[in-house]
Amino acid sequence: MNFNSRRDAIKTIALGSGIVLLTPTQLVSCSGAKKEEQVEERTEEKKKDKIGVALIGLGYYSTDLLAPALQQTEHCYLAGIVTGTPSKAEEWKKKYNIPDKNVYNYDNFDSIADNPDIDVVYVVLPPSMHEEYTVRGANAGKHVWCEKPMAVTSKECQNMIDACKKNNVQLTIGYRLQHEPNTREYRQIIKENKLGKVESVECAAGYRENRTDHWKQKKEMGGGVIYDMGVYSIQGARLGSNMEPTAVLKATAVSTRPEIYKDGLADVVEATLEFPGGVTADIKTSFAENINFLTVACEQGNLEMAPFSAYAGVKGKSPLGEINHSYEVPWQQANQMDNDARAIIENKSPLVPGEEGLRDIRIVEAILECAETGKKVEI
């Protein structure tokens, strides 16, 4: 079974050295017909210059961005892969010199627990599969990096957080922009009130999505624009205001191409989020048009970022001057993974833990509820 068909089937039916790593192992003890699973922690001292990463899912993002980025990183490297497509496995083995023992499929994935080469599993699968492979990765004693959106529901997000805490491994969400220098600069301006108090926010993220048979067009796989580009708009509102929303005041979710976005999926979503102090954020996300900007209206003028969430070329301006730190693709991804690897090596909390992803999915759920009921939804 190839990767795509496997995904559909599964989900349609349902940086230093001197590192100390805690590696949980699961011991199964049997007493007659009764079996109990016990998780024990054992501490092993390992000295590694780099953290070994296994990519789960070899689609566009892994192939075109993460794998090339892992050739640039200082503190982590591409150690292994997980794929359901044998031809991809052979191609990647040759291209990146990956040994046979570090190549897994979705059936033997759990045996990754016995592979000391791999410290992190990076979940790069459709959203509906994030919970399963995060939990399985954590149970295998591996740290987990998970692409956004974190999951489809807040319950799934919490299960992922709980599994990683139980197994004493880190869970980090792939919000590359929170590591990005232009984003960090504008956030500092807002946090330090350099333009006075925030009065309102406007943010939009979208592109013309012309595929018709991708997970983004399949409800059972976590499709729809709100889960993909929508998370960028939500992040823009939250980071731009430096606050957490308290409610969704109004929202619309429509399909402008019902022959593609069906079964309740929307390719255009708009919402107004309410923040403390009467601050509001108007956000939009779309698979129908190319839009990418963030405007934060402050007492002493506007902070504007355009684009605010691209892979390169992120830039902006404010009354304080330009915000423009340049770099090339895939620097963002390399920077993100190096920072996350350092957190593991130094035994520090990651910059973007699972709780951050959970916050956004709670907002996604509230937006969808508001769009359906037409009523204000508290968060």
pLDDT digits (tens, 9 = 90+) for 287-319: 999 999 999 999 999 999 999 999 999 999 999
String of DSSP letters for 101-122: GGEE-SSSGGGGGG-TT--EEE
Given a cut of 70, whether residue 87 has pLDDT beyond it is yes
Q: At what angle do helices 154-166 and 354-373 cross, to 10 degrees?
A: 170
Cα separations in angstroms, 82 against 5, 28, 77, 78, 105 = 15, 25, 15, 12, 5
Least confident of 28-32, 79-83, 221-225, 255-259: 28-32
Cβ–Cβ under 8 Å, residues 301 and 318: yes
The answer for residues whose C-beta is within 8 angstroms of residue 83's C-beta and 6 or more apart is 3, 57, 58, 89, 92, 103, 104, 105
User: Which CATH code, of 3.40.190.10, 3.40.50.720, 3.30.360.10, 2.40.37.10, is assigned to 177-326+354-378?
Assistant: 3.30.360.10
| Predicted pLDDT at 92 | 98
In angstroms, the CA 235 to CA 175 distance is 9
Helix count and strand count (H, E) for the chain: 10, 17
Longest dimension (CA), the chain: 74
Given a cut of 50, whether residue 73 has pLDDT beyond it is yes
User: What band does 46 get if pLDDT is binned at 50, 70 and 90?
Assistant: low
Cβ–Cβ under 8 Å, residues 329 and 335: no
What's the mean pLDDT in 18-30?
A: 34
pLDDT tens profile 141-165: 999 999 999 999 999 999 999 999 9
| Predicted pLDDT at 5 | 40
User: What band does 232 get if pLDDT is binned at 50, 70 and 90?
Assistant: very high
pLDDT tens profile 183-195: 999 999 999 999 9
Structure tokens at 206: 């979208």
Please provide the average confidence, as pLDDT, over all residues in the chain.
90
Given a cut of 90, whether residue 37 has pLDDT beyond it is no
Cβ–Cβ under 8 Å, residues 269 and 262: no
Domain 7-176 has CATH 3.40.640.10: no
| Predicted pLDDT at 47 | 57
The answer for residues whose C-beta is within 8 angstroms of residue 174's C-beta and 6 or more apart is 122, 145, 146, 147, 148, 336, 352
Strand blocks (E) in 69-196: 76-82, 103-104, 120-123, 143-146, 171-173
Burial class (CB in 10 A: 0-12, 13-18, 19+), 66: buried
Given a cut of 90, whether residue 3 has pLDDT beyond it is no
Q: Where in the chain is the domain with CATH 3.40.50.720?
A: 7-176
Model-wide pTM > 0.75: yes
What's the mean pLDDT in 197-216?
A: 97
Q: Where in the chain is the domain with CATH 3.30.360.10?
A: 177-326+354-378
In angstroms, the CA 341 to CA 19 distance is 11
| Predicted pLDDT at 42 | 33
The answer for residues whose C-beta is within 8 angstroms of residue 201's C-beta and 6 or more apart is 236, 237, 240, 241, 279, 280, 281, 282, 283, 294, 295, 296, 297
